[in-house]
Structures are given as structure tokens and as C-alpha cells.
Amino acid sequence: MQNILKKMALIALPLTVAATSVSAAEEVNIYSYRQQFLIQPMLEAFTAETGIKANVVFAKKGLIERLEHEGKNSPADLLLTSDISPLYYAASSELTQPVQSDVLEQNIPAQFRDPENQWFGLTTRARLIYASKDRVAAGEITRYEDLADPKWKGRICTRSGKHSYNLTLIGSMLAHHGEAKTEQWLKDVKANLARKPQGNDRAQVKAVKEGVCDLALGNSYYFGKMITNEKQPEQKEWASAVNLVFPNQNDRGTHMSISGAALTKYAPNKANAIKLMEFLSQAQSQTMYAEANFEFPVRPGTQRSDLIEQYMGEFKQDNIGLQKVAQLRSDAAKLVDKVGFDN
């Protein structure tokens, strides 16, 4: 235990030092699961506009555990995440506090924010079906439910069913169809897999390109990351091998998730943190998000990136509240285990 505490103390040191070396009145401290290349330009714009210094700790994991450990002594004001799951967990664990803001309520549709204002979406992304251009005819698959059709036996690739992106999708299936139908759907999709679930979203598109499978599940922004990838140009070939299918356009719409933000429970710079949340919800920041990571702005009417306009255009989105979907994630995980989806 002592070793664990020593490690956590060392982890906590950089932000503590940063927080005490600047003006105490005009700063905001951020724990960010989002990557620096996305966030830093917007924080610099925020500081230029408001004079408020933004101190950030970037990490791929462990920030919520750090909030739990620090408790009332945490220097963090704001938690930024790349998915609904950590936001929901943080709120459920009473690590956040509600924000009353007309700006946030005006800029962020109700389905993408917590009903009690404990978290707010900042960007959205669609969970797509990537279909082989060579082996899947246009219009041959149009719904998530179609993935269970026996015609796709041995032709589907996906990452783990327990990954957050898939758990959220399965949670949406639970919300729309109930447990019995979702369990059967999951069993049938498992029976159609070309291989044991593995890898990330991009690995599934690569597998389609290589003929391992004909269909794959993946988030929409990965297409932009692949088709523009100059450092790994082979990824352009992966992306060029698929058509993008936005499922359920003739009924409820395509499942959407979010990246987002939450005000920490003991935020020492609460007013500045709310200013930053509002700044990130405004048109300038939303456009920067859209350009940097090929995500969809959460704020209605915001200009999307040229690439999204070229390849994705307008589509119907599932407007179910993400709070309801997030609440069903634990049930989704139980179903994944029950049907042995990852085995």
C-alpha cells in the first residue's frame, strides 16, 4: 500500500507544482483523457480570450482513480473524456457536481448532456458499419439488426464486446429492444464473426481491406484519421477499401456517442472551469474540434470539417438520451459475458 501511495503522490506532483506557480485567481486545472494535439489549441485560444491560465494533466488512464484518491484536496476543476463511460462513472461515483449554465443548455442538445447537469457532451461520433466496396453491395446492409442475419456468417470483424464503444452500442440496443431480443442479437452477431474479437477500430477496417471479413464496426472519426494519414499511408488504402454505412436511417437513426466534460466535485476554480466549459461549447471551439479529429460538433449549426462534408454528409441520428444508454452499460457487459462474445 505504501508503494502505491508513493506512486500516486509522484503522479500528483506535476499539477500541484503548476497550480502553485501561477496566479491562484486566474487559472483552471484540467484532467484530460483527450489528447494534447486536440485540446491544447483550444486552451490557448481560451487563455488568449479570457486571460485564464489552463493547467493540464494528460493521461490515457488513471485520472478518475486519481480524483477518487485526492478527494477534497484535488487541484482538478474539470475532467475531459473521450467517451461517455468515464463521465457516467465519475458522476455516479459523486466525483462531479452539477453546472447551471444557460450557455451550455443552449449549445448542447439535451440528449448529449446529463439530465442533472453533471456532464456535458462536447463532440459526437457515429458508430458505423464499414462495408467492403468489393464484396458488399450498396444497400445490402442498412441496420445494426442486420448484422445478426446468417448471410453474414464468417464475415464480420469487431473489437472486444467489452470495449466502451461496443458496450454503449449494446446499451442502445437494450434501450430500444429489451434484454431478450438484444441477447439473441448478440448471440447471432457472435455466430457471424470472422474471428475472435481483437484489436482497435482501425484494425477492423484493415481486416476488411485484407479480406479477413466483409463488415466491421467502427467509430466515424477513424475514417478521417485513416484517409488522411500521411505517416502511415497504408491506412489510406484501408479506408479506400470500404463504404461507410450509417445504420438505421429508415427508423431510429445511427447510434451516437460523445466526448465530454464534467466539473469536479471539489473544483477550487469553479467559475473559471464553467467559463472553459462554455468556451468549448461555442462555435469557434466546436469548429476546431471538427477540423482536428473529424468528429461532429455537438452544437447544432456548427460548420463541420470539409472531409466530413465530403464523405459523410447529413444523416439521421438516434436521439435517445445518452444517460439512459449509459445506465444500461453494466447490463450490456453482463450480456457480453453471458453469450461469450469475446471467447
Residue 15 covered by a domain? no
45 plus 100 within the same structural domain: yes
Specify the pTM.
0.89
Q: How many domains does the chain have?
A: 2
Does residue 262 share a domain with residue 120? yes
Output the pLDDT for position 25.
60
Whether 134 and 60 share a structural domain: no
pLDDT at position 221 is: 95
Residue 331 lies in a domain: yes
Q: What nine digits make up the cell of 37?
A: 494535439
Flag whether 89 is marked binding. Answer: no
Residue 6 maps to a domain: no
CATH of the domain at 182: 3.40.190.10
**Within a domain: 187:** yes
* 62, 69 contact by CB (below 8 A): no
Same domain for 178 and 131, yes or no, is yes
pLDDT of residue 294: 92
Q: What is the DSSP track for 108-145?
A: S-GGGB-TTSS-EEEEEEEEEEEEETTTS-TTS--SGG
Asked whether residue 213 falls in the same domain as residue 68, the answer is: no
The answer to the question of residue 8 being in a domain is: no
Residue 16 is predicted with a pLDDT of 39
Longest dimension (CA), the chain: 64
**311: annotated binding-site residue?**
no
For residues 93 and 216, membership in a common domain is answered with: no
The low-confidence residues of the chain, meaning pLDDT below 50, are 1-24
104-136 pLDDT tens trace: 999 999 999 999 999 999 999 999 999 999 999
In a domain? residue 94: yes
Nearest to 50 by CA among 33, 68, 27: 27
Q: Supply the DSSP string of 183-215, one letter for each residue.
A: HHHHHHHHHTBSS---S-HHHHHHHHHTTS-SE
pLDDT score, position 204: 98
pLDDT at 290: 76
What is the pLDDT, as a whole number, of residue 305? 87
Is residue 16 included in any domain, yes or no?
Answer: no
| 46 touches 21 (CB < 8 A) | no
Q: Mark whether 132 and 108 lie in a shared domain.
A: no
* Distance between CA atoms of residues 57 and 74, nearest Å: 12
The answer on 143 and 43 residing in a single domain is: no
Q: Are residues 37 and 65 in the same domain?
A: yes
Considering the domain architecture, whether residues 295 and 165 belong to the same structural domain is answered as no
Answer yes or no: is 193 within a domain: yes
**At 241, is the secondary structure helix, strand, or coil?**
coil
d(CA 69, CA 180): 39
pLDDT at 318: 97
For residue range 137-185, list pLDDT tens digits in order. Answer: 999 999 999 999 999 999 999 999 999 999 999 999 999 999 999 999 9
The reported pLDDT for the residue numbered 3 is 38
Domain range spanning residue 141? 126-254+323-339
Same-domain pairing of 195 and 208: yes
Same domain, 200 and 263: no
